[in-house]
Each structure stands twice: as C-alpha cells, then as structure tokens.
Structure 1
Amino acid sequence: MLDTIDPGALIGAMGARARAAARVLASLPTERKAAALRAAAAALRARTPAILAANQADMDAAADLSPAMRDRLRLDPTRLESIAAAVETVAALPDPVGQVIDTTERPNGLRLQRVRVPIGVIGIIYESRPNVTADAAALCVMAGNAAILRGGSEAVRSNRAIHAALAEGLGQAGVPADAIQLVPTQDRAAVGAMLAGAGVLDMVVPRGGKGLVARVQAEARVPVLAHLDGNNHVYVDGSADPAMAAAVVLDAKLRRTGICGAMETLLIDRAYSDAGALVAALRAAGCEVRGDTAVQALDTAVGLATEEDWDTEYLEAISAVAIVDGVDGAIAHIARHGSHHTDAIVASDAAVAERFLAAVDSAIVLWNASTQFADGGEFGLGAEIGIATGRLHARGPVALEGLTTYKWVGRGTGQVRG
C-alpha cells in the first residue's frame, strides 16, 4: 500500500513534520536532548529480542549478499549493546549548539560572534548497516537537527525495529517523534524525491557504495556531505620496525575487511628489507595478494595486479601490493589511485613520516597506526554519520560539530553606517 503513495508527496509531508520538529529541537536545552537519547538507548536494550529477530529475518533474506555486506548487516547482542552504548556516548558529548566559535569587536564598538546552530532537516540515505539508523538519529538529535532516514531494502526489518525503539525512547522524554522519521517505503523513487527536496531537506548524507554516492551527487538539488569509497593505503617505509609493520598491516587489512577503514593497497619501500615477510604474513592470514612484478618476484603465489586493482575497494580479504621508490613513490601512487579517505605510513624516520602526513591529501592520515582507526568513536567523537572525503564544511569522521553550521550574531549600541 505504501509503495503506491506518490513519493514526492510522501517526502514533502515528512519534511514538513521534520521542519516543525527541528524548530523544537533547536531550542531544547542540552540536558533535555541528552535525557531523550538516554531513554532511546534504554528502549534499544529493552527491545533487544525484537530487534534481533528482525535482523535475523533480514539475514535470512540476504543470502546472495557478499560476505562483507552480510557482516555489515548482521546484529548480535554484543553489537546491539554497542549501538545502545554509542547513543549514550553521544548524549554525554559536549553540545555544539550555541558554542561561540569566535568573537571580534569592530572599531565602532559593534561586537560580532560566530555561533554554532543546527543545520535543520537532514536526509540520510544508507545501505546495509542498521547501526546507522541509531547513530544518525542520535547525532542529529544532539546537534538539534531533525532526520529523515532511508535505509536499504536488505536491512528494512532491522531498521524499522531500531527506529521503533528510538521513537519510543524519544517520545517518553518529550521529544517530538517527528524528529526522527524513517521513510516507510523501499520504492527507489523516494530516494529521488529526497534528492530533489530543495526546501524540504537542508542537507543529504549518502552512506553506502560507489553507486549510491554517485547517484546522490549526480541528482541532488540539496547540499551533499559525501562519503566516497575507502581505497586506503598503508605505506611501509624502509625505516619501519618490522614487527610494528607486520602488526599494523595485518590489522589494517584483516581486523574487519568489510569496513571503509580497511587497507586495500599495501605500498612497500624498495629499501625495506622484510617485504617478503609482509607478503607472506598476509597470505598466511588468509588474504589473497595481487602484486606488481616486483612483489611477484618475492612470492610466486602472488597474482599479477591489474590497473583496476589499484583503484578497487575490495571490502574482503584481498589486497593489492606494490613496491615503490620511497616515500615520494608512495605519495605519487596514492595521488593517482587513492580516494582521499584514510592513508597511513609505518616509519621510524620522523622526517619521512612528516613529509607523508603533509603531502597525502586524504581526510585522515596516520603515522604508525592502523587505518582501522578511521572511526568517529576512536577519534573520541562518539558515533559518526560517515567519513567525509570532500574539502568543504566537514572532513573525516562527521559527528556533532559536522552537523552544525553557524550564524553571525551582532550586538551594538546604536551604531549606524550613515
């Protein structure tokens, strides 16, 4: 029945209700928002059996998904507890709304301040990950925004169960239920209506594969906070400690292969003496290695990498590996093939590391640490709505501050320009 509703009218009506809720949220004190999120976390825990049952139904219907996508979709008691805890973490974060960014006084005595304010109504379009329903809702509420959520069809039952729990908790705390709305249809035309929603939505955040992000960027008539694929690199410099290099590389690639922070390409300095050991360690851990001819010379079991491999976000236990000429070779390779998401260097030479950190144009650059730290929680930001790889408004893990804008506030004593 819902799929027969005109998508434009549906999104327009949801947007009108969200706008009214956003006006309420924008003026709520910090403790009211925090209390609502704590109630939402409690409702998630109380509804654990129903949420897990809904997720199992999604998993049963998703047999044709890749292992990486199934891993993103799957919930268990531990993961659901982590989702609830993340909502509570957001509730405990400093409220950005009302923060004074800076203050200046003009020669005529006019006092000007830039003050953080909510963006308004935010649309989030996402695939596979039911945790995004809770993360996005919590972040939007705490930052004073209303959210319209549109999850993928593979997680529809999980998303609805999580949304129901969140709405129950927020309602118990006196926050308008329309502050968090879940699009009730999987009709793809609803996504088009969101993207065409100038005046309905103030910003759209896509979180999913390359196809989804490309569609959003091509069709959107509202501002987009883009999260491109994570074609991430680890460069092992000739000065790297071998034990550290092995630990970082294995964690970056294999801790969880299906997340956007996973390493996809390993770059090894030609001067590094243990390149063969790194390749062997990856293979021994169950990772397929595709390398250039120099890497193949180290291990005959390595397949030959194609040009496409250097540009691929595998999201599974496959890694491209290349031998490069020092840090400049690594920087050049990343510039040609990287997605500006997360790149890391393992090195003992501080000067080399600082050159890498300064020259690599990615949202996150790391020295002697796994790329799997590309996560808002690990950055102390609580939950994240995504990792922005563009250059405007917000970059890297987008949490509360990234979901605000600012306005200028002037206080005068009767000044006129005359």
Structure 2
Amino acid sequence: MKKKLVVSLFLIFLLGMSSTKVAAKSNAELVKITFWHAMNGPYKAALDNIITDFNESHPEYQVEGTSQGSYSALQQKLTAAAKAKTMPTIAQTVYTSVPDFQSARMLQQLDPYMNHGKNALTKKDRKDIYPVFMDSSKYQGHYYSMPFSKSLRVMYVNQDLLKKYHLKQPTSWEAMQKISKKLKKHDIYTVGLDKSFDIEYDMLIHQLGVRQITKKGKVNIDSKASLQAAHVITDMLKAGTAKTAGADKYFTNGFIQGKALLYIGSSAGMTQIQQQAPKDFHWTAVPVPSYHGKQTTEVAGNDLVMLSGAKKQQQKGAWAFMKYLTSRQVTAKWAAETNYVPVRRSAVKEKVYQNYLKKNPEAKAAAESLPNAFTGVAFKGSNEYQLEMWNAVDSMVTKGTSPEKAFKKLAKQAKTIIADHQ
C-alpha cells in the first residue's frame, strides 16, 4: 500500500514538473508588447481591465501597460527613451506630437497594417470611425496614430444657481455676457475655465472661420479675428465675470463649490464631478456655447502610436491591440467607464453605452457634439508652439497683458518656430 502511494506521488510530481515546463515554454513564446500611457485612478483601472481582456482573448500576445504619471511626463520619457533606444512598443501621445516624433524617426507608419492582413481596417471601419479622428491621425499622407482616449469640450451647468436666480441656460457667449452683471452682484462668476483658456480661445477663433495657423503654415494669431476671440475671454476676466482655475489647473472644484454658474471643460473630467459632487448638488452638461451663431467644439485627449525599433511580431501584436482598443465594443465600454468619447459612430448605439447614457444623461452632451468637433493643425514644432501659447495665456491672466501685445509676440515666435522646423 505504501509502495503504491509512493508511486502515485512520484507520478503527480512528474506531471507537475511537466505542466510547469509547458507553462514556462508558453510564457517564453508570448510576444510581449510594452504600452506606456498616462492614465491614473479610475481611468487606469478601466484600461487595466481592457488590457486583461485583450491578453485573455489573444493568447499569443502579452500587453504590459505602465502609467508614466502624467501626459507631460510621458512625452518627456518617450523622448528620453528614443535617445537611449529603449522605447516601448506603443504609447499614448497627443496628435500634435506626431510631426515632431515622425521627424525624429520615432514612429512606425501604420499604413501597412491598416491596409493589409487579417487585422486591416475595412472601408466600413474607416467610415465608422468619426472623420475628425481619422483626419487628425493622418500626417503627410500617411497614418501614424489611431484615436483612443479622445475628449471634447462641454459646458457644465449649475442647475441650482439657474433656479435660484431665475436664469435661462445660456447657449451662446453673447447670452453669457448678458447675464454676467446679475451674477456678479451675488459674487458668482458666469463661467469658470481651466488654468489655460487656449482651447476656449481656439474654439472662438474657429467659430469665426479662422485658424491660428493654417495647414500651409500661415500665422493668424495676431489677426483681427484672433484678437476678437481672445477679447471675449479676457474682457470677462477683467470684468470679474469669468475665472480661471489657477494653481488647481482644472476648475472642477470651483464648479462643485458653486463659484460659477458654468464651467467649460473636458468631457473626460465629468468622472471627477460625478464622483466628488455632493448628492444635493444639481448639475448637467450641455454642448459648448456658440459664438456668432456657429456651434463647434475642440477635440483633445490622446492617440495611440507604434514606436520604431520593435520586432515584426511585436508590431503585429501592437497593431492588433490598437485595433482592439478602437473596436466598437471596446470603445463603447471605455467611454461608459471614463467619459472619453466613443471613436466610432456605431459604438454610440452599443447597449453598454446607451445604458450608461440613460443613467447619466449629462454624458449625452459629448456624444451629441461629435458631429461638430474639430482638431487644431499639427505641424513640426507644434509642442514648442503650444508652450509659447500657454505662456501667452498666462501673461494675459496673471499680468493683465493685452491680447494685442501677447499675440503680437506669439505670432513672431510662431513664425520662428515654423521656419526653424522647415
């Protein structure tokens, strides 16, 4: 009896050793894909779950996601990794970084994967993804990125203040200016903005039919329309009817605290308001205000890029993961869990997203704004220009510099940046 027991235990041991070797071999054969991103908190949790689902449904690949803390830290680390030749397989990045990254030979062109193979994008896929996203992913006739964590500007409304002061919800900048005097009497700002109002300014100038910088490199930052757009905001700041977030960076807390009737911010920031707002605080979100009768909103957020230097199998796996993240079901799930917008038209109709909208009707504002969305122009030196834009806005906010003076300087800087990157 003892002899049989010993034999049985020995066989179990051998089987265990065999299964361990199989598992080790299986892990060794996995194609590992490193993914750097800037998601934190609930956004990271949602992304981690999606990565797990992908790994389970694609057993030949193993995606390893790593948060780099913030968008700025991520961009800095990518640049440093390029110099050290230690770049990840894929990463998040703003679409305006693509020209500089492509010029530095950091990116893998996506056209071969989009156009050929079992994971190619069909005509139906391309038509399904919102044109504003496909257009911003293209640079110099080629695709270098895919849309993923995309957000839009929306306007948050304090419904308690509307009711208290018998106000009608303003739908235009002109209407906002009209109710400003009444609110100021009660020490309430009409509108709160994030630390920098560059996106709100860009929407205003776009509503006037002008671009800061055209695709051909013409600088309009000091044009009559540009200054008019800037004055809409700076005049309200000067009058004390608008307020920027300052050190808080985002005006989320100020809005929740009832300091402003309205707050124009990212649709992705809705998650914080949903989690932090008191239960007796009544609010909603609507499309951003029109100006001169035109309605539009600007796209922000991040795209996915494939970095150069990866092996062929890693590239194939990276593309499979990128396509997975932009699939109808996954982008719908991602939007429902994070308040980023779905990148596909069909995803808006997905049950998981529709159920979310029923429970959170304020989230409809972003989805309804997608057909009118636009992106800024990306060019070599975009990120350098953006830094100078932030400096110009900061000067107008903290030092009271006039738009005329601030943008005259910025126009010269823009022309220099463009010339230096020719």
The bucket for the TM-score relative to the shorter chain is under 0.3
TM-score, length basis structure 2: 0.26
Give the number of the structure whose alpha-carbon radius of gyration is greater.
Answer: 2
- Which structure has the higher relative contact order (CA within 8 Å, separation 6+)? 2
